[in-house]
Structure 1
Amino acid sequence: MATQQSQSIQTLLEAEKEAAKVVQRARQYRVQKLKDARSQATKEIEEYKRLKESEFQAFEASHAGNTQSSQTAVDQETQIKLQEISEAYYANKDQVVAKLLDRVVLVKPELHRNLKKAS
């Protein structure tokens, strides 16, 4: 009976070792599948990035002319406005200086408004 128990224990130990090997293989398989999935996902992400980058480059190239022409138009408008402001300055500067001098030089002495009310 001792040999039968010993043999049963031995069979159980062998079965346990075999089960441990199966579990280990399953873990390795799972780890490998995860690595494969990650590498596949990385490849897909890189491909998607390249696609979107090429779309962006095409969009930017098609609209680059619009920004340059808009900038040219804004620059021309700015030059025109600066010219108008300069002309207005030179046309009115003598009148403005004269008005300022009149205000500074012509002083009308008057009593303070509070002083008038008190008397």
Structure 2
Amino acid sequence: MACAWNERQSGCAPARFASQMSAQQSQGIQTLLEAEKEAAKIVQQARQYRVQKLKDARSEAAKEIDEYKKAKEQEFKAFESSHAGTTSSAQTAVDKETEVSLKAITDSYNKNKDAVVQKLLDRVVLVKPELHRNLTKVQA
């Protein structure tokens, strides 16, 4: 049997040491594999936690957006209703002004229609025959 290290001290103890070393290495490898599995579980849990947090953040953001949207819609409706009254009052004022103008035109028509008709008839019926001002008299 050939021993790899100092044979004089232990009388070829390396074979026993190698089997002991092999058992320790096997146990160390097993421990490393278990630690790796545990680390993989921790990483998986962290990923699941992150995904859940993202879902929660998205739902919370959507909820905040909806609340903000509702608040702005209410604000717009309040603004619209407060300014809609001024539009209807402006329309009422324009209608009154138009009515007053139409009444003034109607009154003026009724007051002056007889005189205008008479002037038109006089111009059509009463014709004065005279020469045009550009026409010069021919001397005979």
TM-score, length-normalised on structure 2? 0.60
Q: Which runs of 5+ in 1 are unaligned?
A: 100-119
The two structures, once aligned, show a CA RMSD in angstroms of 2.4
Runs of 4+ in structure 1 displaced over 6 angstroms? none
Aligned to 2:17: none
Q: Which amino acid aligns with 1:49?
A: E
TM-score, length-normalised on structure 1? 0.70
Aligned to 1:30: 61
Indicate the SS of the match to 2:126.
helix
Residues 16-64 of structure 1: CA distance to partner in whole angstroms, max 9, x if unpaired? 1001111111111111111111111111111111100112223334554
- Counting only pairs closer than 5 Å after superposition, residues 7-86 of structure 1 correspond to structure 2 as 7-62=38-93, 64-80=95-111, 82-86=113-117
Indicate the SS of the match to 1:30.
helix
Q: How far apart are 1:95 and its partner, in Å?
A: 3.1
Q: How far apart are 1:82 and its partner, in Å?
A: 4.1
Higher relative contact order (CA 8 A, sep 6+): 2
Aligned with residue 92 of structure 1, among 123, 130, 137: 123
Q: d(CA) in 2 for partners of 1:23 and 1:67?
A: 64
Between the aligned residues of both structures, percent identity stands at 8
Q: How far apart are 1:65 and its partner, in Å?
A: 3.0
Q: Which amino acid aligns with 1:22?
A: K
